[in-house]
Amino acid sequence: MSGQYTIIGDLDRTPHSPKNSAFSSFQLQVRCSTEVEQMKELSAAQKRWEAQVRDGKIKALSPKEAGYAVQLSKYTLLDVRPSSERSKAWVKGSVWIPVYDSDKNMDPGALLKKLSTFAMGGWWSGLALMKYNERFMPDLVATVPKSANVIVACQKGLRSLAACEQMYKAGYRNIFWLSGGFDAVEEGEFEREGPQALKLAGIGGISEFLGWTDVQRRAAAKEGFGYRAVMFGRLVLVVLAVDSLFIGAQQLMQRVQMHN
């Protein structure tokens, strides 16, 4: 039932029924029927994933430890991030198999979910609607031997734990987890490729433009006034743009009223 939507409405009544006389037309309301259940499932899953580390099934590595291990060439770094994050920055020589990736379906149901994701914060964070990659385990087994030492990494450290769980069930036993994900990686700890720093690959949307993400705030604290001045300048530009749009809309409405 996860992710399904329910259409709410009494289809046996017509808009002219006495019980519906307060409504000018029949209304259908679309809502997520299992939102609370999904949150509970996610919370339980996160506890289960974290228990893997406590039980010793998965070994946690700091970014510095993981970077050193990759340099020894005895460890495979498995990047399970979606393509939107991978395209910004990646570790040289890493294996990329996303456990979740952007949902590219364009059917009405997927479009509704994408619109909901954007309206519920995607415009701010830049996050897109994600879909489980059904090819994750088959592609992994075909690419990485089960006897290999595998360091699993994502941007923040949660999706990689989900991947670790699947890998352990499939027979992988030498599994290492990048604690904190690439968000916790400093420049120089891995041999990076791509246009951005690894820790900045997970940000997007208006929050990135304004510099209001956690990783950008930490960077601002290190880089000082110059960085903050640039971010403040961007904020001013956004405020001016919104103000201009508002004034333009008012003037357009006045002209329309004059012609009427």
pLDDT at 194 (0 to 100): 94
Which tokens in the block code for residue 117? 């994701």
Confidence band for 253, pLDDT divided at 50, 70 and 90: confident
Contact present, 189 and 153 (Cβ < 8 Å): no
Query: Which 8-state DSSP code applies to residue 62?
Result: -
Structure-token match 């990783």, residue found: 215
Q: If you average pLDDT over residues 98-125, what whole number do you get?
A: 70
Q: Is the pLDDT of residue 107 over 50?
A: yes
Q: How far apart are CA 179 and CA 99, in angstroms?
A: 17
pLDDT over 60 at 3, yes or no: no
Q: Where in the chain are the domains?
A: 1-33, 44-199
Q: Is the pLDDT of residue 9 over 80?
A: no
| CB atoms closer than 10 angstroms to residue 169 | 9
Instruction: Tell me the H-state helices in 186-224.
Output: 205-210, 214-223
What pLDDT does residue 128 have?
A: 67
Is it true that domain 44-199 has CATH number 3.90.1150.10? Answer: no
Q: CB burial class (10 A; 0-12, 13-18, 19+) of residue 137?
A: middle
The listed range with the strongest mean pLDDT (86-90, 102-106, 108-112, 117-121) is: 86-90
How far is CA 209 from its chain centroid? 17
Looking at 58, 66, 128, 154, which residue is catalytic? 154
pLDDT single digits (tens) 121-164: 655 655 666 788 999 999 999 999 999 999 999 999 999 999 99
Note the pTM of the prediction, 2 decimals: 0.66
> 95: pLDDT confidence band, cut at 50, 70 and 90?
very high
Q: What is the per-residue pLDDT across 182-191, written as a single tens digit (0 to 9) for each?
A: 999 998 999 9
Q: Does 164 participate in catalysis according to the annotation?
A: no
Kind of pairing between the strands at 192-193 and 150-153: unpaired
Distance, CA of 112 to CA of 106 (rounded, Å): 9
Angle between helices 225-259 and 214-223 (to 10 degrees): 130
Mean pLDDT for 24-45 is: 54
Q: What is the pLDDT of residue 239?
A: 65
Per-residue pLDDT, 117: 63
Tell me the β-bridge partners of 30: 7
Summarize pLDDT for 206-247 with one digit per residue, the tens. Answer: 655 566 666 766 666 666 556 556 555 656 666 666 667 767
pLDDT of residue 236: 66
Cα dihedral sign for 56, 202, 130, 192?
negative
Predicted pLDDT at 160: 95
- Of 4-8, 106-110, 164-168, 176-180, where does mean pLDDT reach its minimum? 4-8
pLDDT, tens digit (0-9, with 9 covering 90-100), for 46-94? 788 888 888 889 999 999 999 999 998 889 999 999 999 999 999 999 9
Q: Are 96 and 90 in contact (CB under 8 A)?
A: yes
SS3 177: strand
Give the residue among 120, 132, 130, 133 at the shortest CA–CA distance from 205.
120
Burial of 18 (0-12, 13-18, 19+ CB in 10 A): exposed
Q: What single letter denotes the amino acid at residue 196? A: Q
Half-sphere exposure of 13 (CA within 13 A, CB side): 15
Section 99-113 average pLDDT: 74
pLDDT at site 47:
82
What pLDDT score was predicted for residue 131?
82
